[in-house]
Structure 1
Amino acid sequence: MTDRLAFVAGASRGLGWACAREAARRGFHVIALARTVGGLEELDDAIKAEGGAATLTPLDLTDDPALERLGAAIAERWGKLDLWLHCAAFPPMLSPTPHASAEDYDKAMAINARAPQRLIRSLDPLLRAAPAAQAVLMDDPRPSRAFFSSYAASKVAAREIWTSWALESKATALRAMRACPPPMPTALRARFYPGEDRAALTRPETVAAELFDALEAKPEANAEIDLRHLSA
């Protein structure tokens, strides 16, 4: 088993799936987290078929005690973590701001903002235990748009949490960064843009490979890895 460990949140589909597979290709043992067991099992099959290895973690990101247990389990088995890619996100239904669903807003904040903060609490000691760990939040820094208030608010909150953590970690070997991917044919985007020509969008596999190339260049803490130049 490789001694390099990558944790991927949101690994059962889309960019998370592609990043988990790319991590395994580049020599990481992958800890893959998602709620969907079937998607994780398909990912495991794909990684094994290419000679890699993964540990599957079917877990709900809103389960705080489970996130605490996750950190403890990684610490007990491996004692450190080299890479964390946070690809999980919830797309609330688009609506005028006065009519935004309280349930959707709360779920967006819980998954898109609160979960990264809870995972930082759980994984920070493991990342600091590695010689040169990296952590990447998949960001969406586009300007404010009509009907996106619940999603935008949760992503802004996540960005500020992540940026504060990156600044607090500057004196350490840990690099916390944000990545800005281009439009991709994912389930999240389909929720926002139904009927879009998906063939014109950039494949997640292309984005994942470019992201790992950028990470191997060792960007500074709090760097923004802009991948939006990629095209289909």
Structure 2
Amino acid sequence: MKPPKRLDGRVALVTGASRGIGAAAAKALAAEGAHVILLARTKAGLEETYDSINENGGTSTIMPFDLTHLDELEALGPTILERFKRLDIWVANAGKLGTLTPVSHSKIKDWRDVYTLNVLSNVQMIRTLEPLLKASDAGRAIFVGSGMGVDPYAFYGEYGVSKAAVMFLARTWAEETKHTNIKINIVRPGAVDTELLAEAFPGGYHAEGLRMPEDIASMFVELSLPSCTRRGETVQPEDFNL
């Protein structure tokens, strides 16, 4: 008989699960026994994550969804409840970089596109997922932040402002739920070898010396455990000796 895993019986939702940090987090959660709902805009990338999880003895479900369709997001919570009967863990990872340009040269449409995915989709998901996470005996929500949301970088305004907003959103929600079973935290992963980082630093990007997404995936497991006591914190790999 196999020994129990730390997340046996838990259901997790990971957005942006088709690649990078989201895919690595999903695989790590599944390896610890969680059933992982894989959400991203395109099905093809999700299939790669799904296959990897299954090959390693885990279980997952593919759920292609465009998070910028905010009105349709309202049905996500009820859909998860109907299909899976519960939700214990939510990893809010999906995001986009936007256009690298001075603020004075930027376009309102580009700001709107970035803000819709990086911020407003998470607001809508909080609204639809909170009842499920409250119903869990140990609801956990983990938002992926960024140092660009703390310290300003020239030409990265769209991304930096959106990340500052989503981190403040997470901390606000953590305050609002501090007397519940939900624990909400933020991961600031630092420089990780992902497509988004390569896009952020065109021409000057190289992977040598960077952490890989798999190197930080254990952070998401630790913050998802029923035994986790952190609440409203922003954590970095160094906090977990990674």
Q: Please give the range of the TM-score, normalised by the shorter of the 2 chains.
A: over 0.9
The residue that corresponds to 2:60 in the other structure is 54
1:213 to partner: Cα distance: 3.4
| Equivalent residues of 1:211, 1:227 under 8 A apart | no
Once the two structures are superposed, what CA deviation does each residue of 1:45-70 show, in whole Å capped at 9, x if it has no partner?
11110111111110001112331222
Alpha-carbon distance between aligned partners in 2 of 1:212 and 1:176, rounded to the nearest angstrom: 13
Corresponding position: 1:206 with 2:212? no
Tell whether 2:105 aligns with 1:99: yes
The alignment of Structure 1 onto Structure 2 pairs a total of residues equal to 231
Q: Match for residue 180 of structure 1? A: 188
Amino acid at match of 1:49: E
Residue 162 of structure 1 is matched in structure 2 by 170
Question: Secondary structure of the equivalent of 1:62?
Answer: coil
The reply on whether 1:78 has 2:78 as its aligned counterpart is no
SS of alignment partner, residue 110 of structure 1: helix
Q: Which runs of 5+ in 1 are unaligned?
A: none
**Aligned: 1:18 with 2:24:** yes
Alpha-carbon distance in 2 for matches of 1:229, 1:183: 15
Q: Specify the SS of the correspondent of 2:101.
A: coil
Q: Does the residue aligned with 2:75 lie in a helix, a strand or coil?
A: helix
Give distance in 2, aligned partners of 1:231 and 1:223: 16
Which secondary structure state, in structure 2, belongs to the residue aligned with residue 143 of structure 1? coil
Larger deviation, residues 219-228 vs 10-19: 219-228
Choose 113-122 or 71-80, whichever is displaced more. 71-80
8 Å Cα contact 1:201/1:231 also seen in 2: no
Structure 2 residue matching 1:198: 3-state secondary structure: coil
Tell me the distance in 2 between the aligned counterparts of 1:15 and 1:228: 17
Q: AA paired with 2:77?
A: G
Structure 1 distance, partners of 2:172, 2:18, is 28
**Equivalent residues of 1:181, 1:228 under 8 A apart:** no
Paired with 1:22 and 1:64, the residues of 2 have a C-alpha distance of 28
SS of the residue 1:220 aligns to: coil
Aligned positions of 1:33-48 closer than 5 A: 33-48=39-54
Is structure 2 residue 214 aligned with structure 1 residue 190? Answer: no
Shift of 1:207: 0.6
Other-structure match for 2:5: none
For residue 214 of structure 1, report the CA deviation from its aligned partner. 4.9
TM-superposed deviation, 1:160: 1.8
TM superposition shift of 1:159 = 1.6
C-alpha distance in 2 between matches for 1:190 and 1:6: 28
Q: Is structure 2 residue 154 aligned with structure 1 residue 115? A: no
Whether the 8 Å contact between 2:223 and 2:230 is mirrored in structure 1 is no
Q: Once superposed, what is the RMSD of the aligned Cα atoms?
A: 1.8
Which whole-Å CA distance do the structure 2 matches of 1:230 and 1:165 have between them?
24
Measure how far apart 1:140 and its partner are.
0.9
TM-score of the aligned structures, taking structure 1 as reference length: 0.94
Secondary structure of the corresponding residue to residue 73 of structure 2:
helix
Instruction: State the alpha-carbon separation in 2 of the partners of residues 229 and 174 from structure 1.
Output: 21
The CA distance in 2 between the partners of 1:210 and 1:73, in whole Å, is: 28
Structure 2 contact 185–223 (Cα < 8 Å) conserved: no
Q: CA deviation at 1:192?
A: 0.9
